[in-house]
Amino acid sequence: MAATPAGENALVHAATLVREAVPPIHPGGRPVIGAVAAAAGAARLLTGRGTGVGLLATGLTALFFRAPKRVPPPITGAVLAPADGTVALIEDVVPPPELDLPREPVARVSVFLSVLDVHVQRIPVHGRVRSLQYVPGVFLSADLDKASTDNERNAMVLETRTGHALGIVQIAGLLARRIVCSVAAGDEVAAGETYGLIRFGSRVDTYLPPGVRPQVAVGQRTIGGETPLAVLA
């Protein structure tokens, strides 16, 4: 069989590099991207203008819903950050009732996501989804402390194989109007895998098991599925 021309190999290699450099889009964002693209196309047909603005709006929307590949670190017992963002709060608090965890103070790490951050959420530990509870609420700015109790949110309890229970709460923000969660109670999940999405500005709270202390600081940047928030005993 004849060898493939060198020029073709170079093109295939370049295409592979480009494909690997462009992160995939979360399925929950595809309808929104399609709607923005359709609106931009309609505006172009009706006015004959706005091509550049329409392409920019579509591109920025696609960028918001990116879901880049992440590789969890080889740290036994690591509790990984469930989202990209900035550690906004670290406090000892009683978990909210919807988590159905013991009513005793535990460490809560709150990660705030700006509109420029990756907005998919990731599983922080290997384990099983013990429960899920959606709670309707208001849409205060997600960086406020009372957003944990007042805002629309989706609460999940994960149970590890070692018997630890963690609470992870997706919290809608000032601009967010939709929380997506793709797992169900009873599902076996792996650390680092994508499980949810919050559209346009939000926050994710992680409630650590009793006695487990955070290994991050307020103001620190986190990478979802890679940055260890804490290590289980």
Assign 3-class secondary structure to the chain: CCCCCHHHHHHHHHHHHHHHHCCCECHHHHHHHHHHHHHHHHHHHHHCCCHHHHHHHHHHHHHHCECCCCCCCCCCCEEECCCCEEEEEEEEECCCHHHCCCCCCEEEEEEEECCCCCCEEECCCCEEEEEEEEECCECCCCCCCCHHHHECEEEEEEECCCCCEEEEEEEECCCCCCEEECCCCCCEECCCCEEEEECCCEEEEEECCCCCCCCCCCCCEECCCCCEEEECC
Q: Which of 28, 112, 120 is closest to 68 using CA atoms?
A: 120
Catalytic residue among 114, 131, 182, 202: 202
202 among known catalytic residues: yes
Please name the amino acid found at residue 148. Answer: S
**Active site amino acids:** 202
